[in-house]
């Protein structure tokens, strides 16, 4: 027992960007960018890509990585992560989404170190300061507000919280953070999570982390200076490619 397992779930199909994990950025499949960046994390014992498509497995194995086929009927990336965690002995599990090609290794290490040192915390994630006003109204940029101890109160695609008393009323930007697509769990919790019944707010916002909150589980949010850009659309893909080509990512 012991150690830190990093799992990168990658589903081939995508409504807005078909074959998203294999989309090329600077001549390399996106999933390979994610894998290679996570592999640089110092606190990680093993990195595994969990997917539903042999083509993704082939890409990762061709670059010397580890990839496994998971249940094609898995409802979510977390289900794939839990399937890999069940077959491994590491006590801390980090879930890095396969559409985060700008993930920084320090982000993985920050989550891993916290959960190794705080075994009583079942789940943690990362947030950063909002850098662009346009992100407030962008539903693809998830916002989070936290309590006084840094635990998540709510996640939303909407601009929260709202300063009603201000003239004109506007979002309270000093209290809202951008949620980044990386999660950490104690192994026992990630094995339990897929068994929790889906919840109303989760389905309304299409944010799986709300399931944990609605079932009464706390999520510790860690502030990171790093940012990341999830790729959901062709426009996101172009934006990430420009950042990489310019050496700013």
Structure tokens of 242?
A: 């420009």
pLDDT above 60 for 1: no
Label residue 199 exposed, middle or buried (CB < 10 Å: 0-12, 13-18, 19+). middle
Cβ contacts of residue 38 below 8 Å, gap of 6+? 6, 8, 44, 47, 96, 103, 105, 108
Query: How many domains is the chain built from?
Result: 1
pLDDT above 90 for 152: yes
Q: What is the mean pLDDT of residues 141-145?
A: 95
Arithmetic mean of pLDDT over the chain: 93
User: Whats the size of the chain, residue-wise?
Assistant: 249
14-23, 31-40, 84-93, 158-167, range with the lowest pLDDT: 158-167
Q: What is the pLDDT of residue 194?
A: 94
pLDDT above 80 for 145: yes
What CATH number is given to the structural domain containing 71?
A: 3.90.550.10
Q: 94: closest CA among 116, 75, 76?
A: 116
The residue ranges of DSSP E strands in the chain, in sequence order, are 4-10, 24-25, 28-29, 46-51, 67-69, 92-96, 123-129, 143-146, 152-156, 162-163, 170-171, 177-186, 220-223
**Number of neighbouring beta carbons within 10 Å of residue 118:** 12
Task: Report the share of the chain in percent with pLDDT over 70.
Answer: 95
Name the band, by pLDDT with cuts 50, 70 and 90, for residue 13: confident
Kindly give the interhelix angle for 54-62 and 30-39, rounded to the nearest 10 degrees. Answer: 50
**Number of neighbouring beta carbons within 10 Å of residue 185:** 28
For 176, half-sphere exposure in the C-beta direction (CA atoms, 13 angstrom radius) is 25
Name the band, by pLDDT with cuts 50, 70 and 90, for residue 162: confident
Q: What is the pLDDT of residue 170?
A: 62
Q: What is the mean pLDDT of residues 208-237?
A: 94
Q: What is the extent of the structural domain holding 167?
A: 4-245
Kindly give the interhelix angle for 105-117 and 30-39, rounded to the nearest 10 degrees. Answer: 50
Q: Can you name the residues that pair with 49 across neighbouring β-strands? A: 8, 67
Q: What is the mean pLDDT of residues 212-221?
A: 98
Q: What SS3 class is residue 215?
A: coil
166-197 confidence digits (pLDDT tens): 656 566 677 889 999 899 999 999 999 999 99
> Exposure pattern of 37-69 as b/e (b: 16+ CB <10 Å)?
bbbebebbbebbbbbbbeebbebbeeeebebee
pLDDT above 90 for 217: yes
pLDDT above 70 for 233: yes
Cβ contacts of residue 15 below 8 Å, gap of 6+? none
d(CA 200, CA 156): 13
């Amino acid at each position: 027992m012991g150690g830190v397992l990093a799992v990168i779930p990658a589903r081939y199909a995508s409504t807005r960007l078909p074959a998203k994990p294999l989309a090329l950025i600077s001549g390399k499949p996106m999933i390979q960018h994610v894998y290679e960046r996570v592999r640089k994390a110092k606190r990680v014992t093993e990195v595994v890509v969990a997917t539903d498509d042999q083509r993704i497995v082939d890409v990762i194995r061709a670059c010397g990585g580890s990839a496994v086929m998971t249940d094609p009927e898995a409802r979510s990336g977390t289900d794939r992560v839990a399937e890999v965690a069940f077959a491994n002995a590491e006590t801390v599990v980090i879930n890095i989404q396969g559409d985060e090609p700008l993930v920084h290794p320090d982000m993985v290490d920050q989550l891993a170190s916290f959960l190794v040192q705080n075994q009583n915390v079942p789940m943690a994630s990362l947030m950063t300061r909002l850098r662009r006003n346009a992100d407030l109204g962008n539903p693809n940029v998830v916002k989070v507000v936290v309590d006084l101890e840094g635990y998540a109160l709510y996640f939303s695609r909407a601009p929260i919280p709202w300063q009603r008393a201000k003239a004109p009323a506007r979002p309270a930007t000093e209290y809202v953070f951008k949620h980044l697509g990386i999660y950490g769990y104690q192994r026992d919790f990630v094995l339990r999570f897929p068994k929790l019944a889906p919840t109303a707010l989760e389905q309304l916002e299409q944010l799986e982390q709300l399931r944990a909150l609605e079932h009464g589980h706390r999520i510790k949010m860690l502030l990171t200076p790093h940012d990341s850009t999830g790729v959901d659309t062709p426009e996101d893909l172009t934006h990430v490619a420009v950042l990489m080509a310019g050496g700013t990512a």
